[in-house]
Amino acid sequence: MAKSDRESNEKITREARDMTENERQFPRVVIVGAGPGGLCMGVHLKRAGIEDFVILEKSDGVGGTWNHNRYPGCACDIPAPLYSYSFELNPNWSGLYPPQPEILAYFEHCAEKFGLLPHCRFNDAARRASWQEASAHWEVELESGKVIEAEVLVSAMGMFNELNYPEIDGLDSFAGTAFHSARWNWEHDLEDKTVAVVGSAASAVQFVPEIAKTAGQVHLFQRTANWVLPKEDDPFPAEQREYFVSEPKAAQAMRDEILGVTDSGGAGAFAEIRGEMEEACLSNMDQVSDPEIKAKLVPDHPWGCKRPLLSSKYYPAFNRPNLELVTDRIDRITADSVICADGSERKVDTLVLATGFKTTQFLSAIEVVGRNGLNIEESWSDGAQAYKGVMTSGFPNLFMLYGPNTNGDSIITTIEYEVEYAIRQIFRIADEGLAWIDVRPEKMKAYNIELQEAIGKITPWQAGCGDYYRSPTGRVVTQWPHRMSDLKRELEAADEAAYEVSA
């Protein structure tokens, strides 16, 4: 085993803490991920007076997906006032849906303002976490070979962590420049290049209109058509931004209004608003002048079956002569071309894979071993499961942020609810002098039975489209079927009896 970090000059052991008898004995905390979840957890730990924590981050900075995803046109699809922490509103957003650089700058600002950077360890990913039963703590092994020990483990890895690559014959044989859209190669100039884009979902909807402006030719290989709503992303007028800065209550009122509207229906309203949403999408699609192309862009599944998308630039891009929509299935890729099942061949020099993430893995993207040698992949053989989205049975003192079945209208809002829940459990550990806390398996089972029954009633999710919501077994593991406020109430409810504890 690699040398423990507690033997390094960074170690802070319980014995070394200068505490009086009346002070709480807080556990040490290790957080995996310096994205929105990890930063939010860090802020709340510091506010609670807990300074003994470290944030592990595989990249070179904070921001999570907003640090990794830097493709052209990358922007938020949740109104920015809601895509920011309730305790740190940003009056300077350029508009309702700001671009990636603004969002990354916001999280960098939060990390600096709340003193989180000294707690961050960058460019060193967690690769394995194992529960040590005898000493009741987690050992987290890093890519560097070092080991972090802590009583509490917080996963802030979320859903958009591991890249998804398509299984296409010959993909590795391509001799041109190839990259995933979530790891954009900005050193490769697309001007006058012939580009093949594989995939037509969230990222492609944003970057295809941008690269079509400079590329010589873009071939967009659409596996499944998606519903794309118009996006009201005009910049805020200068006077409005100045007003938000001078009147903080106005920014708060705007956030409250957006939260109220967003939370009014939840996923349960998808079936009710389906007709209205599809009509808006079709109206948006009317910007496509060629009727044959437009027909290929009409989805064969109901709105709400897959992730709703927003763009007012995507459909007009198909009026450009240098953007081709290809709906024939890709058969194989050669050193310099993409060949479809109908035998057609398109010579290309650049390949962009807009194929998303392995969204159903969550914490199992790394090896995690809990009580009695239980591996999280074995525990989740039917798909990722958790109690209230935060804890999973057999893995003591482990809290997940943006965990299984918590994906809803606003990631940031959901994360705040989950962080507050985790902090309460950490206080319980400290106040009661517990070695560990673990959710009872029967409680988690009962919770998930009820949850899956509610998911089964969201009719658009049962339409059989290829969504990112399901594990290989077909179980929906990402989505929350109710309103965000319902999740908040679940997390705020007293549930001490749901846990097994050990002193």
* pLDDT at residue 93 in the model: 94
Cα–Cα distances in angstroms (integers) from residue 167 to residues 101, 172, 198, 332, 334, in the given order: 32, 10, 11, 10, 14
The rounded percent of the chain whose pLDDT value lies above 90 is 88
Within 13 Å, how many C-alpha atoms sit on residue 152's CB side?
A: 29
* Whole-number Å distance between alpha carbons of 276 and 257: 21
Mean pLDDT over each residue of the chain, to the nearest integer: 93
Backbone angles phi, psi at 401, to 5 degrees: -110, 135
* pLDDT at residue 22 in the model: 45
* Strand 152-155 to 398-400 pairing: parallel
Count Cβ neighbours within 10 Å for each residue of 74-104 and write b for 16 or more, e otherwise. Answer: bbbbbbbbbbbbeeebbbbbebbbbbbebbb
CA 312 to chain centre: 23
Coil, strand or helix: which one is 136? coil
> What's the count of helices (H) and strands (E) in the chain, helices before strands?
13, 21
Cα–Cα distances in angstroms (integers) from residue 251 to residues 36, 90, 99, in the given order: 20, 8, 19
* pLDDT at residue 15 in the model: 32
Backbone angles phi, psi at 72, to 5 degrees: -60, 135
* pLDDT at residue 425 in the model: 97
* Whole-number Å distance between alpha carbons of 66 and 280: 29
Tens digit of each residue's pLDDT (9 = 90 or more) over 209-243 = 999 999 999 999 999 999 999 998 889 999 998 99
Query: What are the helix (H) ranges across 320-408?
Result: 376-379
* pLDDT at residue 110 in the model: 98
Tens digit of each residue's pLDDT (9 = 90 or more) over 361-416 = 999 999 999 999 999 999 999 999 999 999 999 999 999 999 999 998 899 999 99
Backbone angles phi, psi at 365, to 5 degrees: -65, -20
Tens digit of each residue's pLDDT (9 = 90 or more) over 29-76 = 999 999 999 999 999 999 999 999 999 999 999 999 999 999 999 999
Domains and CATH numbers, the chain: 5-62+116-162+358-502 (3.50.50.60), 171-226+269-353 (3.50.50.60)
* Whole-number Å distance between alpha carbons of 96 and 176: 38
Count Cβ neighbours within 10 Å for each residue of 338-360 and write b for 16 or more, e otherwise. Answer: bbbeeeeebebbbbbbbbbbbbb
Among residues 129, 161, 133, 141, the alpha carbon closest in space to that of 38 is found at 161
* pLDDT at residue 23 in the model: 63
* Whole-number Å distance between alpha carbons of 225 and 213: 22
pTM: 0.92
Tell me which DSSP letter residue 229 carries: E
Does residue 419 carry a pLDDT above 50? yes
Tens digit of each residue's pLDDT (9 = 90 or more) over 331-365 = 999 999 999 999 999 999 999 999 999 889 999 99
Does residue 8 carry a pLDDT above 50? no
Residues 6 or more apart whose CB falls under 8 angstroms from that of 406 comprise 389, 414, 418, 480, 487
Does residue 14 carry a pLDDT above 80? no
Q: Which two tokens stand for residue 310?
A: 């927003």
Question: 356 and 202 in contact (C-beta within 8 Å)?
Answer: yes
Among residues 232, 274, 238, 263, the alpha carbon closest in space to that of 76 is found at 232
Question: 197 and 354 in contact (C-beta within 8 Å)?
Answer: yes
Coil, strand or helix: which one is 18? coil
Higher-confidence position of 4 and 322: 322
